[in-house]
Amino acid sequence: MKINIYYGGRGILDDPTLYVLNQFETVLNELNVRVERFNLHEMKSKITSLPASINDADGIVLATTVEWFGLGGYMAQFLDACWFYGNKEKIATTYMCPIVMSTTSGEREAKINLAIAREILGGLPCSGLCGYVDDMVSFELNKDYQTIIEKKAENMYRTISQKTPSLPASNQAVKRQVDATTKIALTPQEAEQLSKYASDDAYVAQQKEDIQELTSYFKQKLDHKDVDENTLYLEDLKSHFDPHGSVNASYKFMIKERKKSLIMAIKDSELNCYYGNLDSPDVLCKLDPDILEQIIGGRITFQRAFMSGQMQVKGDFRLLRMLDQVFIFDNGEE
C-alpha cells in the first residue's frame, strides 16, 4: 500500500499540521505502508505536474493549515491542477483523507471544502480530522490528542485495505455538468504531459512570446489585406519628410517577408520613395514590418531600433542618424 501526503501549509516551525502529519507517518510506517510527502510550498513551480504522482498511490492525504482564512493558496493550486490535469479515472479509485488544523478559526469549513473538492474530483471518502490549536506545547504533550491522531491514521489504513465502499454524492452531478462544458478532451497521458509543460516557466514564457508574435503577424495581415504592397508606407514617409539644408543619401530597407525592398533616395533634399532594388545604397537596413510601423507611428526612432537590435544596419551610420532629423514622426521619446 502507498499513501501520498500533500501538505499545503507554509512549513513554519510551529505549524500544528506538521505535527499531525508526523504522527500519521509514524503510524503508517509501523503498518508497513509506503508514505511519500509532497510539501507544496517547496514545489511552487511544479504544482501543476503533481497530480501525476497520484497515479501510483492507493490513498492520499490533503493537509493544510488555516492561518487566517480558507484553505490557502498552495492547496487551492494543487486542487485546480488535479481538476485540469489529473487522471480522473485513477482519482475515482483513490481514497482521500482531509486534515485541517487551525491557529485562528475556520478549520471545520476548510475540512468541508476539502471534502467537497474530493467529491467533485470523484475520489473515495476517507474520514479525516480537524482541530484548533492555540498552544503547540500543550497540544503536543496531550496524550488524548495523540491517541485521536493515531486512531485516524489506523482508520485510514483500514478503510483503504478493506476497500470500504461509499454511497454516491450529489456533487458528482456537478462534476458531470462541469465536464460537459470542457472543449478539449484529453487522455490521462496527454493531460499529464500538458501539466509538465504548464509547470515549466521557460516553456510558458516562450509560448506567450510565440502567441504574441503570431497575433501581431496576423493583425498585420488583416490590416494590410486590402493595401497594395507597392504603395504601403510610401505616403506616410512622404508626408513626414521635412529636410533642413541640403541632404543627399540613399537608403534600402529590406523588410521581412516582403519581396521588394523599400527604397528612399534623397537628392538635393527631394525624396524619391518606392519599392524596388538599389545597388550600393549608402545605408542598408533589415527589419520586421512591425518595427517599421512602430517607427512611422512615432513609438521608436530609427536610431533606437538600431541600438536595441531590432533593425540591422550596414553602411554610413552618420546617415542613419540623419533619418531621425529629416523624418518628423510624433515620437513620445525624450
In a domain, 332, yes or no: no
Whether 179 and 37 share a structural domain: yes
What pLDDT shows up at residue 208? 76
**Which residues have CB under 8 Å from 319's CB, separation 6+?**
249, 251, 282, 283
Whether 112 and 183 share a structural domain: yes
Whether 65 and 168 share a structural domain: yes
- Asked whether residue 203 carries a pLDDT value surpassing 70, the answer given is no
How far the first Cα of the chain sits from its last, in Å, is 68
Whether 151 and 288 share a structural domain: no
How far lies 291's CA from each of 36, 214, 216, 318, in Å?
53, 15, 11, 21
Domain boundary among 154, 172, 198: 198
Structural domain total, the chain: 2
> What is the tens place of the pLDDT at every residue in 240-264?
999 877 889 999 999 988 889 999 9
- Asked whether residue 202 carries a pLDDT value surpassing 80, the answer given is no
Grid coordinates belonging to 234? 510610401
Question: Alpha-carbon distance 39 to 153, whole Å?
Answer: 19
> What is the tens place of the pLDDT at every residue in 204-224?
677 777 787 777 666 665 555
What pLDDT shows up at residue 314? 93
Task: Write out the H or E segment, with its range, that includes residue 315.
Answer: strand 311-315
% pLDDT > 70, the chain: 85
What pLDDT shows up at residue 103? 92
Give me the half-sphere count of Cα atoms (radius 13 Å) on the Cβ side of residue 255. 19
Domain boundary among 198, 226, 252: 198
Whether 249 and 322 share a structural domain: yes
The whole-chain average pLDDT of the chain stands at 87
Whether 190 and 246 share a structural domain: no
What pLDDT shows up at residue 262? 94
Whether 272 and 180 share a structural domain: no
In a domain, 29, yes or no: yes
> What is the tens place of the pLDDT at every residue in 139-174?
999 999 999 999 999 999 999 999 999 888 776 666
What pLDDT shows up at residue 213? 72
Count of CB atoms situated within 10 Å of the CB of 200: 16
DSSP string, 195-244: HHHHT-HHHHHHHHHHHHHHHHHHHHHHHTTTS-TTTTTHHHHHHTB---
C-alpha triplet 258, 263, 266: angle, nearest 5°: 165
Whether 191 and 258 share a structural domain: no
- Asked whether residue 7 carries a pLDDT value surpassing 80, the answer given is yes
What pLDDT shows up at residue 181? 47
In a domain, 225, yes or no: no
Query: Residue 252 is part of a domain; what is its CATH number?
Result: 3.30.1050.10
Domain boundary among 198, 220, 250: 198
In a domain, 206, yes or no: no
- Asked whether residue 112 carries a pLDDT value surpassing 70, the answer given is yes
What pLDDT shows up at residue 175? 60
Question: Of 330 and 120, which is predicted with more confidence?
Answer: 120
In a domain, 221, yes or no: no
- Asked whether residue 129 carries a pLDDT value surpassing 70, the answer given is yes
SS3 category, 255: strand
Question: Alpha-carbon distance 6 to 8, whole Å?
Answer: 6
- Asked whether residue 331 carries a pLDDT value surpassing 60, the answer given is no
- Asked whether residue 332 carries a pLDDT value surpassing 50, the answer given is no
Maximum average pLDDT range among 182-186, 215-219, 312-316: 312-316
Count of CB atoms situated within 10 Å of the CB of 276: 10
Whether 165 and 276 share a structural domain: no
- Asked whether residue 184 carries a pLDDT value surpassing 70, the answer given is no
Question: Alpha-carbon distance 275 to 78, whole Å?
Answer: 57
Q: 243: domain range?
A: 234-326
Count of CB atoms situated within 10 Å of the CB of 325: 13
Q: Residue range 274-280: average pLDDT? A: 92
Amino acid at residue number 260: K
Whether 142 and 46 share a structural domain: yes
In a domain, 204, yes or no: no
Query: Residue 77 is part of a domain; what is its CATH number?
Result: 3.40.50.360
Count of CB atoms situated within 10 Å of the CB of 126: 26
- Asked whether residue 198 carries a pLDDT value surpassing 70, the answer given is no
Whether 62 and 152 share a structural domain: yes
Question: Of 114 and 204, which is predicted with more confidence?
Answer: 114
**Which residues have CB under 8 Å from 60's CB, separation 6+?**
3, 4, 5, 6, 54, 94, 95, 96, 97, 123
Cross-strand pairs, 60:
4, 96
Question: Alpha-carbon distance 218 to 222, whole Å?
Answer: 6
Cross-strand pairs, 75:
none
What's the pLDDT band for 334 if we cut at 50, 70, 90?
very low
Whether 175 and 105 share a structural domain: yes
In a domain, 210, yes or no: no
Give the closest residue to 111 by CA, choosing from 102, 103, 120.
102
Cα dihedral 48, 49, 53, 59, rounded to 10, equals 10
In a domain, 331, yes or no: no
